[in-house]
A and B are shown apart, each in its own frame.
Chain A
Amino acid sequence: MNLLEIKDLQASVDGKAVLKGLNLTIKPGEVHAIMGPNGSGKSTLSKIIAGHPAYEVTSGSVNYEVNFKMKDLLEMEPDERAKEGVFLAFQYPIEVPGVSNEAFLRTSFNAISKHQGAEEMSEEAFKKFVRKKMELVSMDEKFMDRAVNTGFSGGEKKRNEILQMAVLSPRLAILDETDSGLDIDALRIVADGVNKLKSKDNAILLITHYQRLLDYIVPDYVHVLAGGKIIETGDKSLALKLEDKGYDWLLQ
């Protein structure tokens, strides 16, 4: 059964059409990468899947599997999508002053657990749980007491997104340019973290400009998004070809 089915998706932001008939199907256990020139609609796609209110879907459908049934994702509030396992690692993670990272993560984790019928975790138990997850992305414990993303460096913010992913264990994780702005060591840490979170039950959608991320997280499919549509799909070798030749040969 498919996890995500996007059919003929057309969407605009501020009245400007950005997606012009996009099709994409993702199954559990798969890793998909979307590449494409600037302004092709990559981030728009990620925001629409997560439910950002500024993006308007003008046509098409986005369906997502919930309890073995395909549900209209566009009908769900962003928090309902999160509770059903949709996760977006933000390209520019938002600062939340005055709220500690730990309190934020715990509230988030408990809101989602509760929805899925699991017990809420106590403060103590959560501390232990989160400590393990922090090892995955080599984050220091001191980040738990700091306000969410406030005063974090670019790399720290990105790692914090992956930590959230590790804590919330989503079924569909979208990583929106998580690799941009990371140095090679940080990139390796983040990629290792993501690889450890990969399983046959969840899927990952990577949005990236650079082939180098795909050296670490190997995709099953590589799609090229240009002009609001997917114009080419291939395997990992397509990314290497793009690295070598750029996009021009596809846009001709």
Chain B
Amino acid sequence: MSENKFTSSGTEIDTSYKYGFVTDIETDTVPRGLNEDIIRLISSKKNEPEWMLEYRLKAYRHWLTMEEPTWANVTYPKIDFQDIVYFSAPKKKTEGPKSMDDLDPELVKTFERLGIPLSEQKRISGVAVDVVFDSVSIGTTHQKDLEKVGVIFCSISEALHTHPEMVKKYLGTVVPYTDNYYAALNAAVFTDGSFVYIPKGVRCPIDLSTYFRINASETGQFERTLIVADEGSFVNYLEGCTAPQRDENQLHAAVVELVTLDDAEIKYSTVQNWYTGDKEGRGGIYNFVTKRGKCQGKRSKISWTQVESGSSITWKYPSCILLGEESQGAFYSVALTHDRMQADTGTKMIHIGKNTKSTIISKGISTGHSKNTYRGQVKIMPSAAGARNYSQCDSMLVGDKCNATTVPYIEVKNETAILEHEATTSRISEDQLFYLKSRGLDSEAAISMLVNGFCKDVFKQLPLEFSVEAVKLIEMKLENSVG
């Protein structure tokens, strides 16, 4: 075990990515590389129950037998999994129970710069936030208020101690470690993430949110989020993420599992703004994420809304397994790629229960030399009588060096199912631009108006504040990428 002090790598901060700074903080890290001892070390640092370690080791052994997937429409040099640090945590100043007010002032400052005030007085009133810095959760706000209504919202490490039976019951039931290469890796080495339980009949009184920050260099972030909505409950969950600007690529391989019981609903929204790499494609985050929800109960609902505007490579397919009768899944996505970014993203809707419904609205915007692929699967199982799907996949090209691809897979094994699929690819036309400009809008304002209009069906699914944030983010990215 080593304890070292990281300093900034000395890179000039590119002003176009305002979250690119590095926090100078003492860390507790494990040696580079991956083997069973590292996994034991991570597990012991977190003081985990024995079954959790066993689960990790099983996942690791399975991962060793697997091949890195290559089917996605992205290219990157082979990742050396032995050259990654799998655990890095800010060193605790004091031992014992943590309170948000005992946090290292450097951390508090960091999150203030990111727009996430943590101290009791300043924190945002309408949203409870779990804050994950590198490998660990450093605190969760509003926990006491949530406890009053029986909502559990804490880091998954904490949940392993306070509610082990619940974690054990659901962990890996939606995304088993055998699912895919990165899911297996995550199951072996995940370090933290959020755990949410909404009890029967409770409408979570405030929005819940997790903010992920990668700070340390050469460190991968492997977080795990588990959200369980019991019968008749409802929760709005938001996720945000940023990382410093560095020349090396960093791996982020998360797993998110959602479970809804009868009549429950989870709305999960993400604004992903990891560092994208520079104009030539140096550096940036590899965002290889498995997100899946299981509508286990009747009439339950899960919706994924994502604004993907960061990462050098995105490989992400938030999906829904529609098991309960009349359950509903939705996927609303805006993926913006610029410069040398590559995104291969979409969804899977697996219809198993009767009269299940799914909606897919995907908007891809490519600029610069980027590559933007929508990949989606709609599968109707023999049991899914009366299933319905509506898919709409639109791509917009800005400039002539970028690339947009749509890859829909449709598999129907029940003839009573009704599926609709619409897809368009458009270029911002000279006539559209001219029309807006002839009304006094300059090029930038005109393009941003056209893009916002294009994305409207997705933005309107986001909670209001997030939606304002998303519009600003997309506008800022376009300003930098459309000359």
Contacts and interface: CB of A to CB of B under 8 A. Distances in A.
A77 B440 CA distance: 10
A250 to B, nearest CB: 32
A82 B439 CA distance: 6
A54 B434 CA distance: 10
Contact of A108 (B431, B434, B439, B453): B439
Interface range on chain B: under 10, 10 to 19, 20 to 34, or 35 or more?
20 to 34
Interface in A80-98: 81-83, 87-88, 90, 93-94, 96-98
Contacts of A99: 449-450, 452-453, 456
B41 interface: no
Contacts of B454: 97-98
Contact of A107 (B432, B443, B445): B445
B471 to A, nearest CB: 12
A79 B434 CA distance: 9
Given A54-B430, A94-B432, A96-B450, A88 B438 contact: yes
Given A52-B434, A53-B434, A107 B441 contact: yes
A96 B435 CA distance: 9
A79 B435 contact: no
Given A94-B431, A94-B432, A77 B452 contact: no
Contacts of A168: 439-440
A111 interface: yes
A79 B438 contact: yes
Contacts of B436: 96, 104
Contacts of B446: 79
Interface in B406-452: 430-432, 434-443, 445-446, 449-450, 452
A108 B456 contact: no
B445 A98 contact: no
A164 B452 contact: no
Contacts of A36: none
Nearest to A78: B437
A93 B439 CA distance: 12
B440 A115 contact: yes
A94 B455 contact: no
A93 B452 contact: no
B457 interface: yes
Contacts of A78: 434, 437-438
Nearest to B450: A96
Contacts of A51: 434, 437-438
A110 to B, nearest CB: 9
A50 interface: yes
B434 A82 contact: no
A33 to B, nearest CB: 21
Contact of A83 (B440, B443, B450): B440
A119 to B, nearest CB: 16
B432, B439, B445, B452 — which one has the most chain A CB atoms within 10 A of its CB? B439
A227 B435 CA distance: 27
A95 to B, nearest CB: 8
Interface in A95-123: 96-99, 104, 107-108, 111-112, 115
A90 B432 CA distance: 12
Contact of B445 (A54, A93, A111, A147): A111
A81 B453 contact: no
Nearest to A92: B431
Contacts of A53: 430, 434
20 contacts: A51-B434, A51-B437, A79-B439, A79-B440, A79-B446, A82-B440, A93-B435, A96-B435, A96-B436, A97-B453, A98-B454, A99-B450, A99-B456, A107-B445, A107-B449, A108-B440, A111-B442, A111-B445, A112-B440, A168-B440
Interface of B: 430-432, 434-443, 445-446, 449-450, 452-457
For the complex of A and B, the 7 pairs showing the least CB-CB separation, nearest first, are: A98-B453, A98-B456, A99-B453, A94-B435, A82-B440, A78-B437, A108-B439
Given A88-B438, A147-B453, 12 more contacts: A78-B437, A79-B442, A81-B438, A82-B438, A94-B432, A96-B449, A97-B453, A97-B454, A98-B454, A107-B445, A108-B441, A115-B440
